[in-house]
Amino acid sequence: MTDTNKNRVKQLRNKIGLTLQELSDKTGIPKTTISNYERGVASPKIDNAKKMANILNASVPYLIGFSDINRPDGISKTRIDIDDRIEALNKQISKEQDPEGIERLTKIKNLAIDVKIQAQRAEHLENQITDKLSLNEKREKSLNVAVEDFEFLYNNLSNENFSSWIELGHRILKAQIFDEETND
């Protein structure tokens, strides 16, 4: 979280009147972890961000600072509202007798359709952001496992053992070379 966005969790929590402990109880996220998010010491993983966003009535992108616009119901709700308005405009257009009125309503309907298309694009981008965050977390976990494996191997191979492995490798190579020479 950036400095300007690190307090969003706290602001949203205070807005709905929850204590740290209550948010912890509702999300299953340790109180100290939430406190770290609020102070900007740590950033929430996508799963925790989803849990908190649900309780705090916020969108995940807003909560983690990727957006300055909070859409707690998500863009899908906005698209449904636009569809309802387009349908209502179609009914009004069919009832309208005045050609100028029909033209105005048609322009409004076309604008609503444009807004719907933009909302679809925004929803797609929001989903991509969430998916990439989730993928990055998976990659980070995978890298952490690889690093831990490497550290384990490094720490458990003393110089003596390492030398033995190198010597064994040399003997195997020499044996293969000898076998190739005798087979020729």
Look at residue 157 and tell me if it is in a domain.
no
Same domain membership, residue 137 and residue 99: yes
Look at residue 114 and tell me if it is in a domain.
yes
Look at residue 134 and tell me if it is in a domain.
yes
Same domain membership, residue 51 and residue 23: yes
Distance CA 74, CA 20 (A): 25
Instruction: Tell me what pLDDT residue 19 has.
Output: 94
Q: Where is the domain boundary, 46, 64, 82?
A: 64
Same domain membership, residue 130 and residue 81: yes
Same domain membership, residue 79 and residue 47: no
Q: Where is the domain boundary, 64, 82, 108?
A: 64
Q: Where is the domain boundary, 24, 43, 64?
A: 64
Same domain membership, residue 80 and residue 41: no
Q: What is the pLDDT of residues 76-119, one digit of tens each?
A: 566 667 778 888 888 888 888 888 888 888 888 888 888 878 87
pTM for this predicted structure: 0.48
Look at residue 180 and tell me if it is in a domain.
no
Same domain membership, residue 55 and residue 87: no
Same domain membership, residue 128 and residue 81: yes
Look at residue 184 and tell me if it is in a domain.
no
Instruction: Tell me what pLDDT residue 1 has.
Output: 47
CA distance to 88, 102, 110, 120, per residue, from 116 (Å): 15, 21, 10, 6
Domain that holds residue 18: 8-64
CATH of the domain at 43: 1.10.260.40
pLDDT tens by residue, the chain, 184 residues: 445 456 789 999 999 999 999 999 999 999 999 999 998 888 888 889 889 988 998 888 888 877 776 665 555 566 667 778 888 888 888 888 888 888 888 888 888 888 878 877 877 777 777 777 777 777 776 766 666 666 666 666 655 566 666 777 667 777 666 665 666 5
Distance CA 47, CA 54 (A): 11
Look at residue 174 and tell me if it is in a domain.
no
Domain count, the chain: 2
Q: Quick one: tokens of 44?
A: 């929430």
Burial class (CB in 10 A: 0-12, 13-18, 19+), 74: middle
Look at residue 166 and tell me if it is in a domain.
no
